[in-house]
Structure 1
Amino acid sequence: MTKNKDWFVSWFDTNYYHTLYKHRDYKEAEVFMLNLVSFLKINKDTLLLDLACGKGRHSIYLNTLGYNVIGADLSKNSIKKAKKHENERLSFVEHDMRKPFKTKFDVILNLFTSFGFFEDDAEDIAILQNIKNGLKPNGVAVIDFMNCKNVILNLVAEEIIKIDTITFNIKRYVENGFIVKEINFNADGNTHTYFEKVKNLDLQKINSYLNSVGFKIKHTFGNYQLEDFNEETSDRLILVLE
């Protein structure tokens, strides 16, 4: 059985993670990026950071639109895959978002619920401080988080997903202030258990984090079409910060 206090360190770096999510809809990410860069009126000279980029799906698409992008992620495995797409205006680096950045950016993107992983609020707040410190003057940050209230209302408690030769038994529940996905499966002759744990953060709680580092919410959206946020019905909680 595989467990880890920092669940993302072990889980994101496995091939099993990439197997489970191999069918993710890249089109959805592309629509979001098109809507976002249009709304923010980001010019092509802008330097963007895709923080917690995974295999780089957002970074790669932004680069095809002509943007200069750096993708950063903790997972060595994900960065190795992403680096296959590098060019003179697209690069990928291993980076723990709890650590400060050496470069200043015009725009920092934290997408697809890549926030709220830590037991201690201070660690999440430190990440926001790093993002704020990593922006150039008049820079903009975007956090794309799930709408926790809606997620909890529609939580699927148990699910079985078979992909290739692996049957993933998935349980979802709320525990100690976290929305938890417990992933159990047999592979390579062993039984594995991994967790995805994201803090149950509503807009009020996130805003208290933001205020503590001097960030202000400029815009709030509820989906990738950038429609208004509704706490009861919206799929996402997307924040534009300055």
Structure 2
Amino acid sequence: MPKKWFQNWFNSPYYHILYQQRNVAEAEFFIDNLCAYLKPDDNSHLLDIACGRGRHSVYLNKQGFDVTGIDLSIANIQYAKQFENERLHFYVHDMRYLAYINYFDIAFNLFTSFGYFETESDHIRALKTFRRALKPNGILVLDFFNCYKIKHLLKYSEVKELDGISFNIHKKIDGDRITKSIEFDDKGEHYLFTEEVKAFAIADFKRFFAQSGFEIVHNFGSYKLEEFDLETSDRLIFICRKTNA
């Protein structure tokens, strides 16, 4: 079976070159704000879903929490394992097929690590596995982009020069998804990768959460945890609680 775009791209070293500007300080600021809001106790077990190379997991662990990071990318998890300790572990997992049951107090799915699958049923399947992994009344934090603002302010073409490589990036709205093509040459080889993310709106998430056994506790619109505003917020951040249903 051919690999999905995210299996190829997230395992590529070029992914990390292109996105190296992602701000570690911003990620830690976001985590600090979430912890201040959620107030997890010292014995909390936290799950970082689609953890990448583990930047959020490592920082949460430094705050004293027991953290498990999972990601589909073998390369990402191999990199993250250098940070492991007795309260920090990383595993290769597909978020749709987690085996944990009633184990975690809080699950995090951050920095638009959702919306990659082709069907709604796969997204709902993923949310149901998140729910199953959480303890009763456990909390899910899901951080997505505000698709309303993205659609209105989309920068369709740009070139980024990083580490001697010219990344030619083209974006388009293709039905219910936002597609990005990334084309470049390096060391005599030509590369073309694609990113595809579903343009889920708040109404879509409300439906998904209802079908997967979550209730929405709050929406935020930024990493400062400002209130969500459809026209001005960059992010769409959900705080959800596992229901008993």
So what's the TM-score if we normalise by structure 2? 0.95
CA distance in 2, matches of 1:22, 1:7: 20
Q: 1:217, 1:190 → 2: CA distance?
A: 47
Partner of 2:96, secondary structure, is: coil
User: Match for residue 11 of structure 2?
Assistant: 13
Structure 1 CA distance for aligned equivalents of residues 78 and 233 of structure 2? 34
**Structure 2 CA distance, aligned partners of 1:209 and 1:146?**
16
The question of 1:200 aligning with 2:189 is answered no
Question: What amino acid is aligned across from residue 177 of structure 1 in structure 2?
Answer: D
Q: CA deviation at 1:89?
A: 1.1
Helix, strand or coil at the partner of 2:25: helix
What amino acid is the match of 2:190?
A: T
What is the CA–CA distance in structure 1 between the aligned matches of 2:26 and 2:63, rounded to whole Å? 16
CA RMSD of aligned residues (A): 1.1
Secondary structure at 1:209 match in 2: helix
The one-letter amino acid of 2:47's match is: L
Structure 1 residue corresponding to 2:54, chosen from 37, 53, 56? 56
Q: Secondary structure at the match of 2:160?
A: strand
Once residues 111 and 19 of structure 1 are traced to their aligned partners in structure 2, the CA distance between those partners, rounded to angstroms, is: 20
Report matched runs for 1:107-126 at 5 Å.
107-126=106-125
**Aligned residue type for 1:46:** S
Instruction: Look up the match of 1:182.
Output: 181
Q: Number of aligned residue pairs: give it.
A: 239
Q: CA deviation at 1:100?
A: 2.5
Q: Deviations over 1:146-198 (max 9, x none)?
A: 10111111111111011112110001110021011110011232211111111
- 2:98 alignment partner in structure 1: 100
Structure 2 residue aligned with 1:38: 36
Following TM superposition, the consecutive aligned residue runs of length 4 or more in structure 1 with deviations greater than 3 angstroms are none
Name which of 67, 84, 87 aligns with 1:86. Answer: 84
One-letter code aligned to 1:66: G
Query: 2:100, 2:132 within 8 Å by CA — same for their partners in 1?
Result: no
2:154 aligns with: 155
Distance 1:159 1:44 in 2: 45
Structure 1, gaps ≥5 residues long: none
Tell me the secondary structure at the aligned position of residue 68 of structure 2: strand
